[in-house]
A = this chain, B = another copy of it.
């Protein structure tokens, strides 16, 4: 079924001698299929095709792009159970979860298709001419967002569908009008091949140019670095570890002459602040919610709550007891891949043995079975403030409770915290108002502030922000989830005194599509007469 080829535009290609096989943590064995690592010639071919395709694809109508995205969603569904089963083998994730993730991935594509159909996202702004203005006339000026160029997407291991080959980065870049080259994640190369084939089929069926999408197989240190350094690549989407993200940042800023946007989502430990009165009132309910969040997907979510802030009290002790009680009942589950599992146990051991950190609970080390078990530690806030090492992400079902003496120390501890994707706070309305400074700090340090629920779960919608200050990402100005993600792959272009026939459709006087535009400072869907 699988061919182990790179997918270069409409061609399948396997010129290289070097191959590898995916390891299944679920089966504890290597899977049979061999995948061919892309050669330098194949990388070059994909880039050349992406450049040529961009020239065509960037100019086609939003509606045609929308049909392409819809067709990708349909082709993904067409892959049927083979896709789910392969992803299950390669990622160890349960079939139910993968089924949900597949739906989310298709819905993501459809959401961008809807955005394109509607059209207003491109931010058309028109200032009409004022020929008789004194002392100088004003020209006719019209601005709209245009795509940046070929985009490299680095697939993530923890969401083999939603943040991978046909995931959010690919969907938003294609929606923006960019051609895309995906670096497949080696942990799920078979899943990648199936998904890439679905995109390839959709491109052929809808008459998209050869090279609008390619998928290459190889390691970050070689393929990844080559893509990042290539002058033809105009933006990068990445989800992965801090180390890999910062290696990419180094390449982008030092190995290429022209700066490009790098959207690396890297490391977040997602603080959860538990306000004292509410914690005392709802001790068990909050413990249950957080235990579920800490262990969801074996803790392998970018929004996993790795830091819990509490103020010392009897209720806090009861909460920790309740949390441990729940965590200890969670069944060990298979982790994504060997490296993640090994790193999880190493990192949690490092945390547990850090000066000042108290181990409260740890499940057995099931590294040999590639399974993760939960762990919980506590630390006094003064120790947390003194040591930034306590903010190193432990990727897996492990969390650290930071115990503060009082509100003032809570604020100090939060102020010492790095940038995060999310910050959650549990409190009654009345208590939240008394802790407004805490809410303000969470707002300043995160991309999303969550009230009275756990951080895991990222809705794909218009208002979502999945991003945040460094080290959560390398660029806090954007989101990688939701329709806002399309903004990462565009730049504004202004047309001065341009003839109607040469203007982009949504800048023309006739606004028959009825997109929302800002005309002479006023929002309107009207045509210009």
Please tell me if the beta carbons of A477 and B465 are within 8 angstroms of each other in the complex: no
**Distance, CA A249 to CA B254, complexed state (A):** 10
- Asked whether A331 is an interface residue with its Cβ less than 8 Å from the other chain, the reply is no
**Distance, CA A453 to CA B520, complexed state (A):** 21
- Asked whether A496 is an interface residue with its Cβ less than 8 Å from the other chain, the reply is yes
Please tell me if the beta carbons of B451 and A498 are within 8 angstroms of each other in the complex: yes
Q: When the two chains form the complex, which single residue of B254, B447, B491, B494 contacts A253, counting CB atoms closer than 8 Å?
A: B254
- Asked whether A152 is an interface residue with its Cβ less than 8 Å from the other chain, the reply is no
Q: What are 23 A-B pairs at a CB distance below 8 A?
A: A100-B135, A114-B521, A125-B462, A125-B484, A141-B459, A142-B463, A143-B463, A146-B443, A148-B477, A249-B253, A254-B254, A259-B470, A259-B474, A429-B499, A443-B493, A447-B494, A448-B496, A451-B497, A452-B497, A465-B493, A465-B494, A476-B491, A477-B492
Please tell me if the beta carbons of A523 and B523 are within 8 angstroms of each other in the complex: yes
- Asked whether A355 is an interface residue with its Cβ less than 8 Å from the other chain, the reply is no
Please tell me if the beta carbons of B499 and A462 are within 8 angstroms of each other in the complex: no
Which chain A residues have a beta carbon within 8 Å of chain B's beta carbons?
Answer: 55, 59, 100, 114, 118, 120, 125-127, 135-136, 138-139, 141-143, 146, 148, 249, 253-254, 257-259, 261, 419, 429, 432-433, 436, 439-440, 443, 446-453, 457, 459, 461-465, 467, 469-471, 474-479, 484, 490-499, 501-502, 516, 518, 520-521, 523
Q: Which residues on the B side are within 8 Å of A453 (C-beta)? A: 139, 496-497
Q: Which residues on the B side are within 8 Å of A520 (C-beta)? A: 462
Question: What residue in chain B is nearest A474 (Cβ atoms)?
Answer: B259
Please tell me if the beta carbons of B143 and A449 are within 8 angstroms of each other in the complex: no
**Distance, CA A443 to CA B450, complexed state (A):** 41
Q: When the two chains form the complex, which single residue of B141, B257, B433, B465 contacts A502, counting CB atoms closer than 8 Å?
A: B433
Q: When the two chains form the complex, which single residue of B126, B436, B490, B493 contacts A449, counting CB atoms closer than 8 Å?
A: B493
Interface centre among A139, A261, A461, A520, by most chain B C-beta atoms within 10 angstroms, is: A461
Please tell me if the beta carbons of B443 and A484 are within 8 angstroms of each other in the complex: no
**Given pairs A127-B464, A433-B502, 6 additional interface contacts (CB within 8 A):** A125-B463, A138-B461, A141-B459, A258-B469, A450-B496, A453-B496
Q: Which residues on the B side are within 8 Å of A59 (C-beta)? A: 440
Q: When the two chains form the complex, which single residue of B136, B492, B496 contacts A484, counting CB atoms closer than 8 Å?
A: B492
Question: What residue in chain B is nearest A135 (Cβ atoms)?
Answer: B100
CB distance from A192 to the nearest CB of B (A): 27
Please tell me if the beta carbons of B125 and A429 are within 8 angstroms of each other in the complex: no
Q: Lowest 4 CB-CB distances: which A-B pairs, in order?
A: A253-B253, A465-B494, A258-B470, A141-B463
Please tell me if the beta carbons of B499 and A461 are within 8 angstroms of each other in the complex: no
Q: Which residues on the B side are within 8 Å of A443 (C-beta)? A: 146, 493
**Distance, CA A476 to CA B489, complexed state (A):** 11
Q: Which residues on the B side are within 8 Å of A478 (C-beta)? A: 491-492
Please tell me if the beta carbons of B477 and A261 are within 8 angstroms of each other in the complex: yes
Q: When the two chains form the complex, which single residue of B114, B261, B461, B477 contacts A490, counting CB atoms closer than 8 Å?
A: B477
Please tell me if the beta carbons of B447 and A502 are within 8 angstroms of each other in the complex: no
Q: Which residues on the B side are within 8 Å of A146 (C-beta)? A: 443
Question: What residue in chain B is nearest A143 (Cβ atoms)?
Answer: B463
**Distance, CA A422 to CA B518, complexed state (A):** 22
Please tell me if the beta carbons of B499 and A447 are within 8 angstroms of each other in the complex: no
Please tell me if the beta carbons of B135 and A448 are within 8 angstroms of each other in the complex: no
Q: Which residues on the B side are within 8 Å of A476 (C-beta)? A: 148, 491
Q: Which residues on the B side are within 8 Å of A432 (C-beta)? A: 499, 502
Please tell me if the beta carbons of B463 and A493 are within 8 angstroms of each other in the complex: no
Q: Which residues on the B side are within 8 Å of A490 (C-beta)? A: 477
Q: When the two chains form the complex, which single residue of B143, B261, B450, B467 contacts A492, counting CB atoms closer than 8 Å?
A: B467
CB distance from A135 to the nearest CB of B (A): 7
CB distance from A271 to the nearest CB of B (A): 14
Q: Which residues on the B side are within 8 Å of A253 (C-beta)? A: 249, 253-254
**Distance, CA A135 to CA B138, complexed state (A):** 55
Q: Known contacts A448-B496, A502-B439, A521-B462: does B258 contact A471 (CB below 8 Å)?
A: yes
